Amino acid sequence: MNNRDIEPLVRANIRSLCPYSTARDEYQGSIGIFLDANESPYDTGYNRYPDPHQKAVKARLSEIKGLPAENIFLGNGSDEAIDLVFRVFCTPGVDNAVIMSPSYGMYGVAAATNDIEVREVALDEEFSLSTEALFSACDSNTKVIFLCSPNNPSGNALPMEQIEKIVTSFNGIVVVDEAYADFSLLGSLRSKVNEWPNLIVLQTLSKAWGLAGLRLGIAFAQEYTIRLMSMVKYPYNISQATQNAVLKALAQPVEEKIAETIEQRGAVAEKLASMSCVKKIYPSDANFLLVKFDNADEVYGHLLADGIIVRNRNKVRGCSGCLRITIGLAKENKKLIESLKEYEKGNIRR
């Protein structure tokens, strides 16, 4: 595949789209008397429209992530990037997308709002993906495959060789959602986006960077794809407040926090392993553990009554009996273990 070879995958109306040109696109200088955008002249800190291309944030992310700004798209959370993939590549009522199950719920929701059929490929008991099953779910109208690695809610990363096989043999777009890659030893595929033109890698500042409240999602892809997504997004999708706060936050290193979370993940898993109410702890490359209990609903209720909120995944395909537990601060994790010990003693709260 050449860079331009993905052009036929793009919806015809998007290929011929003439994007909105902002006042800041038409005049790019930063000094002068600005009477072109109908802004208020009175300084509130936010009276000017933000940079629609987020140049400063992209320059900083480019340093951190080791890819040129041309390969970076910024969205209002990863959710915006997921929605844009459908809007750029998938014709409503015609095209379909293939996703793994169980996985992140937003792929299905964004597909449904765009009237795109979703085909689910069940993961096996260990949450591994069969490449054959994935490809047999695809047909000539399959425009996008969504992979999530490390996967939510199971926590495991897919083998890199398997993702490579899928990306290099599929004749459509492959999105690899790496929201949790910072917690995985396998690392990221983002450096491949200029080699594999159909690859889109999603990352986010919501997890390892601790900025879920700011809403900043990142897509890495070849320049042509980034230009398409930028053309379709709302011009001012990242507010000035977010751009300012992100730039400030990116100056603070996160390596120590990530290392601490990984260390705590191991410690919590070890404690859980010795408990009789725990049936299985799934291996995790993320900042959470999927844990199978003898009676998940009862454990969920007990923890809740104790003021500890986890995610009940008991009703999710392949996750029966499971709770998803985010790794918190050491003292929070300690409370969790203490509460479960009380449960084991028969002091069950309801």
Ligand X SMILES: *Cc1c(COP(=O)(O)O)cnc(C)c1O
Instruction: Say which DSSP state 190 is in.
Output: G
Max Cα distance, the chain (Å): 72
For the chain, what is the total number of helices (H) and then of strands (E)? 12, 11
Interface segment toward ligand X; rule CB under 6 A; list 71-79, 135-143, 272-280, 311-319: 71-79
In the bound complex, what is the minimum distance in angstroms from residue 79's beta carbon to ligand X? 4
Examine residue 340 and tell whether it contacts ligand X (CB under 6 A): no
The nearest distance, CB 208 to ligand X, in angstroms, is 11
- Contacting range for ligand X; rule: CB under 6 A; set: 6-14, 131-139, 206-214, 309-317: 206-214
Binding part of the chain for ligand X, among 16-24, 51-59, 205-213, 324-332 by CB under 6 A, reads 205-213
Among 71, 154, 198, 204, binds ligand X (CB under 6 A): 204
The separation between CA 140 and the C-alpha centre of its own chain, rounded to angstroms, equals 26
Among 86, 163, 217, 238, binds ligand X (CB under 6 A): 217
Rounded-to-integer distance, Cα 84 and Cα 62, Å: 21
Answer yes or no whether residue 79 interacts with ligand X by CB under 6 A.
yes
**Nearest 5°: CA angle at 246, between 240 and 247?**
90
Residue 51, interface with ligand X (CB under 6 A)?
no
- Contact between 155 and ligand X by CB under 6 A: the answer reads no
Binding mask 156-195 for ligand X (x = CB under 6 A): ---------------------x-x----------------
88 versus 286: smaller Cβ distance to ligand X: 286
Dump strand ranges (E) for 245-293: 278-281, 288-293
Report the alpha-carbon distance of residue 164 to residue 309 in Å, rounded.
37
Which are the contacts of 309, defined by CB distance < 8 A and separation ≥ 6? 303
- Which of 96, 206, 225, 264 is the binder for ligand X (CB under 6 A)? 206
CB 101 within 8 A of CB 125: no
Give the C-alpha separation, 8 to 109, whole Å.
25
Under the binding rule (CB under 6 A), the answer on residue 148 touching ligand X is yes
Q: How many residues bind ligand X (CB under 6 A)?
A: 13
Quote the tokens at residue 324.
């998803």
Task: Find the binder of ligand X among 96, 142, 152, 237 (CB under 6 A).
Answer: 152
Phi, psi of 255 (to 5 degrees): -55, -40
Q: Which of residues 107 and 343 has its CB atom nearest to ligand X in the complex? A: 107
Give min distance, CB of 67 to ligand X, in A. Answer: 18
Q: Which is nearer to ligand X, 74 or 278 (CB)?
A: 74
Smallest distance from ligand X to CB 274, Å? 28
Q: Which one of 73, 86, 89, 104 is in contact with ligand X (CB under 6 A)? A: 104
- Residue 330 burial (CB count, 10 A): 12
**Separation of alpha carbons 111 and 265, rounded Å:** 33
Strands 142-148 and 117-122: unpaired
Distance CA 95, CA 47 (A): 42
Q: Which residue in 189, 250, 202 sits closest to 72, CA to CA?
A: 202
The residue (of 197 and 217) whose beta carbon lies closer to ligand X is 217
Residues of this chain that bind ligand X (CB under 6 A): 77-79, 104, 148, 152, 177, 179, 204, 206-207, 212, 217
